[in-house]
Amino acid sequence: MIYLDNAASTQIHDDVLESMLPYLKEQYGNASSIHRYGRLAHKAIEKARKQIAQLINAEPSEILITSGGTESNNTVLRGISRSGSSDKIITSLIEHDAILEPCKNLSKSGLIIDYLPVDNFGMVDPQELQNRLSDNTCLVSIMFGNNEVGAIQKISEIAKICNERKIPFHTDAVQAVGKIPIDVKELGIDLLSISSHKLNGPKGIGALYIKNGIEIDPVILGGGQENGLRSGTENVANIVGFGKACEIAKNHLDENMAYVSKLRDLLVDKVLHEIPEVTLNGDPKSRLPNNAHFTFLGVNGEDLIIKLDEYGIAASTGSACSVNTQKASHVLQAMGFSHEQITGSLRLTMGVFNTAEEIEQTVVHLKKIVEELRSFSPFKEKYSFNSKN
C-alpha cells in the first residue's frame, strides 16, 4: 500500500505507541484518584500538557484536552457565544464542517453568522474581515491551513485586526500544527484547535489552546476535570501518546517540513509535466507542505480514487469527514470552481513515512489511470488529452 491521505489521518509513530502502552496495562489509574495510581496518571497528563503547549509556544495552563479538532471547535463556538453579550460570529466559506455545522446550528438560536468569501486560491482577504467587524462581533474563526486545497491563511494579519478590536480570534489549525512552525504568542492567536491523529498520534484526542484571560463557558459538565471546562474521566493513554507526538513533531519540525515539501514538489512537478489538462489548486506558495490538490479535467475524482485503490494507493477528493454525504466540495464552490472542475478533483497528501519511490510509482499509475478514464470521457472532444512526454 501507498498511503497518500495523510490529511485524513496519519500513521501512529512507534515511539508514540510505546509511550502509551504502560497506561493501557500497568498504570491504569483514574487521574482524579488521590492514591498512587491516580497521582501517576495525573502526572503523566500534566507532562503531556506541557509537551502539547511547547509545540505552539503556549503555557501548559492554556491547554484544554479534548477528544479532537471537532470538539475543540465546538467548544470555542458554543463556549464563546454563551459567555458574552455579543451575537455575531465571523468565519469563512471554506471552513471544515466542524466549524460550519455548529455555526449553522447556532444561527437557529438567533446568533448571526457572517461568512467571508475567498479568492480562487482559497484565500481570505483580511481587509474584507476588517470591513465586516462590528461592535456585536463575539468571535472570529478562520482556519490556519485548509484541509482540501492546503491554502495557509494570513493568520498574523487576521489576528492583528482582531486584537486591535479586542475580539477573540480562533483558528482551526488541525491541518497545520506539527507540519509548520506555529507560535501562538508571536501570531497573536487567542484560541487554536489541534488534533492528535493529524500529527502521527492516536485518534480520539486533541486540544484547544485558550489564551490566559479569554473567558469561555464549559460545554461538557460533570466531574469538573480540565479546570471545570471539560468534565469526563481522562483518556490517559491517548493523552500521553498525543503529548509524545507533539514532542516528536517539535524536535523534528524543520527536517520533516523540508522532507515532506520535497516529496510534494516532486509529485506536483511530475503530475503537471506528464499529464495533460491538469491544474494545481490552492495558493501555489502559501500552502501546507504536505498538500497537493489537483483537477483532472474530463475525469471523475471518485473514479480516480477507486482505480488508485486497486493499485494499492490511498487518496481522496477532500475531507474524509464529508465523504459519506456525497455533496460537492463547498471549498471548491467557494473558490469559484465549475461542476466539472469540482468533480475532477483529487487530493494527495504526504507524510513523514512516505518515500520518493512511492511518489514516482504513484505518478506512473495515475498517468495510466487518467488516460484510461479519459478514453471514454464525455469531454474527450472538448479537451486535448494527448499524453505529455
* Catalytic residue numbers, as ranges: 321
How, if at all, do strands 206-210 and 291-296 pair? Answer: unpaired
Q: Is 130 helix (H, G, I), strand (E, B) or coil?
A: helix
Grid coordinates representing 112 are: 448571526
Helices (H), the chain: 14-20, 36-56, 69-83, 97-107, 126-132, 155-164, 184-187, 236-251, 253-274, 301-310, 330-334, 339-343, 356-374
**Which residue, among 371, 351, 265, 321, has the nearest Cα to 73 in the 3D structure?**
321
* DSSP code for 179: T
Give the span between the Cα atoms of 190 and 37, in whole angstroms.
35
Helix spans in 188-286 (H)? 236-251, 253-274
